[in-house]
């Protein structure tokens, strides 16, 4: 059994971050950041593991504002990754205004964004990966893709993910796992997997008829004169978070006993290092490290969290490498007599303005985007406000989407899912088709218009809230709280299921939402089959195009109690 004290101990990170942090802090303050600063690292041992995850089909450099709220509950309260802003800076001893402060927090975000520019871009990431391979030797490096790679952009939607498949292949990953990939449907996923020259791993997916594995669970490598096993873990709650009807023959789940069996088999097969390539989410994998024995490294994804270096939990290193291509995770291992004897880890922020794009990847990106460039750059409007999506509760992009749904569907209330994907626009930016699709590009985009009574509305909010704030991370499914338009409420994350949501009111009148009274609600991304309504991206194009400019006031409609 684990305690809060245990996790505080596990999550303690050295104030002097391994690798480049001191240099980045000083150099970036002078705005003289270089590619060499990003690559500076105190290498260890003979094996290097690289990790990127949750790219959500973003090929180009972007802005992505870190969260303003990321509450942890139970044993996870107040420890990484549940630290934001000043608390994050203090915990990791980062200077306000530094490059790492900008990469990891929302403190002074707009000013620092204008100073340091965009992050990400697969051509920049390719440059970093190639440099590390050249330094360490190809035969000593393993590159892993943590999933949520094929969904989240206009071009991925229009090409049925082929743009990402083609570009990612140029990075030469050694393995990947999945989550949103499955929303392409069974046939398309299998078609892509069969075309790839690297494995798609999923220890925890079996078919519903015979409970036989659908994908390989484990891939074996000989790198750095070391035998390495990589085990894949797909997002375990995919059929709950996404439409089950899109992959009806597959059964998911955590399957910790099966995972332990696969770890044991890998060890019996001679693996000196066992890596779990996971899309479980950070808290789930922190607990998993205390439940499953024999895993040396867990590269976690799904929750889009980013920490400057790996946490050591029960002698398992756990590293989350952020999202949207903003970071490249790295862990070096020294292995002796079949065991990990030393390590170093870091999370490299991909500052696009100071990295020379890899020419091969740049050409590939230009090629896949070329047919769509006129539409991608078509301007729909302009924003006077910072538009972002990321935080346990409201983001301004979600507030805008809720406004649009209520207006275009003539609804009293709106529900927008608590997705953690979607890029950021700075005040004064144009809103283009590409920007809109970065928030809405998905395979089940219909906007419904239905009636719910007050009891049903509370049940929906309570259910999502328990999904986010259950004290047992094995019952958390990632994502953030559903965004609600047209109503205010109070939320008490530390309470139990059924007791977290209170004081629901209509913003327009101030009246309490009554249990047995019906209200017209617009929403999107329903997991039900056959939902009728316009696609969210078409609806929002209509709404944004009608506005002189977008100005989103601060949203104080949700009151957080007891945190």
Overall pTM > 0.85: yes
pLDDT score recorded for residue 31: 60
Spell out the alpha helix ranges (H) of 357-424: 359-369, 373-376, 396-408
Helix (H) or strand (E) holding 312: strand 311-313
SS3 16: coil
Question: What does the pLDDT look like over 289-344, one tens digit per residue?
Answer: 999 999 999 999 999 999 999 999 999 999 999 999 999 999 999 999 999 999 99
Structure tokens at 168: 């990612």
State the pLDDT at residue 32: 80
In the chain, domain spans: 4-368, 377-560
Task: Indicate if the alpha-carbon torsion angle 292, 8, 283, 1 is positive or negative.
Answer: positive
Architecture of domain 377-560: Alpha-Beta Complex (3.90)
pLDDT greater than 50 at residue 17: no
Band the pLDDT of 477: cuts 50, 70, 90: confident
CA distances from 170 to 127, 273, 422, 456, 462 (A): 12, 26, 24, 48, 44
pLDDT per residue over 499-523, tens digit each? Answer: 999 999 999 999 999 999 999 999 9
The predicted pLDDT at position 29 comes to 46
Overall size of the chain counted in residues: 563
Burial of 208 from C-beta contacts in 10 A (0-12 / 13-18 / 19+)? exposed
> Other C-beta atoms within 10 Å of 79: how many?
21
4-368: CATH topology: Purple Acid Phosphatase; chain A, domain 2 (3.60.21)
What is the overall mean pLDDT for the chain?
93
């Amino acid at each position: 059994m684990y305690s809060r004290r245990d996790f505080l101990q596990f999550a303690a990170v050295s104030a002097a971050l391994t690798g480049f942090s001191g240099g980045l802090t000083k150099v970036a303050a002078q705005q003289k950041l270089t590619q060499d600063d990003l690559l500076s690292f105190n290498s260890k041992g003979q094996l290097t593991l690289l990790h990127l995850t949750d790219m959500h089909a973003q090929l180009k450099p972007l802005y992505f504002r870190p969260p303003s709220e990321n509450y942890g509950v139970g044993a996870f309260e107040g420890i990484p990754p549940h630290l934001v802003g000043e608390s994050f800076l203090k915990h990791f001893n980062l200077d306000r205004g530094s490059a790492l402060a900008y990469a990891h927090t929302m403190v002074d975000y707009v000013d620092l964004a204008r100073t340091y520019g965009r992050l990400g871009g697969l051509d920049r990431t390719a440059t970093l990966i190639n440099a590390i391979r050249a330094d360490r030797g190809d035969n000593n490096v393993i590159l892993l893709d943590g999933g949520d790679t094929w969904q989240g952009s206009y071009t991925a939607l229009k090409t049925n993910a082929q743009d990402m498949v083609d570009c990612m292949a140029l990075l030469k990953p050694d393995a990947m796992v999945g989550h949103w990939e499955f929303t392409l449907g069974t046939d398309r996923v299998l078609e892509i997997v069969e075309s790839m020259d690297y494995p798609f791993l999923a220890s925890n997916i079996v078919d519903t008829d015979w409970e036989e594995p659908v994908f390989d669970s484990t891939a074996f490598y000989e790198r750095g004169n070391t035998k390495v096993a990589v085990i894949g873990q797909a997002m375990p709650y995919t059929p709950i978070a996404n439409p089950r009807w899109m992959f009806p023959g597959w059964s998911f789940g955590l399957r910790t006993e099966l995972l332990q069996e696969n770890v044991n088999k890998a060890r019996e097969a001679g693996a000196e290092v066992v890596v779990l390539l996971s899309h479980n989410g950070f808290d789930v994998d922190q607990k998993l490290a205390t439940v499953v024995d024999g895993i040396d490294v867990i590269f976690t994804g799904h929750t889009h969290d980013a920490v400057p270096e790996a946490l050591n939990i029960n002698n398992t290193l756990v590293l989350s490498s952020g999202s949207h291509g903003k970071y490249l995770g790295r862990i070096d291992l020294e292995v002796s007599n079949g065991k990990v004897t030393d390590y170093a880890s870091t999370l490299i922020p991909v500052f696009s303005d100071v990295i020379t794009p890899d020419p091969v990847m740049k050409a590939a990106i230009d090629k896949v985007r070329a047919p769509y460039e006129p539409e991608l750059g078509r301007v729909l409007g302009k924003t006077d406000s910072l538009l972002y999506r990321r935080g346990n509760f409201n983001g301004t992009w979600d507030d805008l989407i809720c406004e649009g749904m209520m207006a275009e569907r003539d609804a009293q209330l709106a529900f927008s899912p608590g997705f953690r994907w979607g890029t950021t626009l700075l005040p004064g930016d144009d809103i283009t088709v590409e920007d809109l699709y970065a928030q809405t590009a998905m395979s089940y985009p219909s906007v419904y218009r239905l009636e719910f009574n007050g009891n049903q509305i509370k049940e929906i909010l309570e259910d999502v809230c328990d999904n986010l704030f259950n004290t047992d991370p094995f019952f958390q499914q990632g994502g953030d709280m559903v965004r609600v338009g047209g109503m205010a409420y109070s939320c008490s994350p530390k309470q139990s299921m059924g007791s977290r949501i209170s004081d629901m009111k209509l913003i327009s009148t101030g009246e309490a939402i009554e249990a047995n009274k019906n209200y017209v609600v617009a929403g999107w991304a329903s997991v039900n089959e056959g939902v009728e309504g316009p696609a969210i991206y078409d609806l929002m194009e209509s709404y944004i195009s009608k506005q002189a400019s977008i100005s989103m006031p601060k949203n104080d409609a949700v009151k957080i109690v007891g945190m």
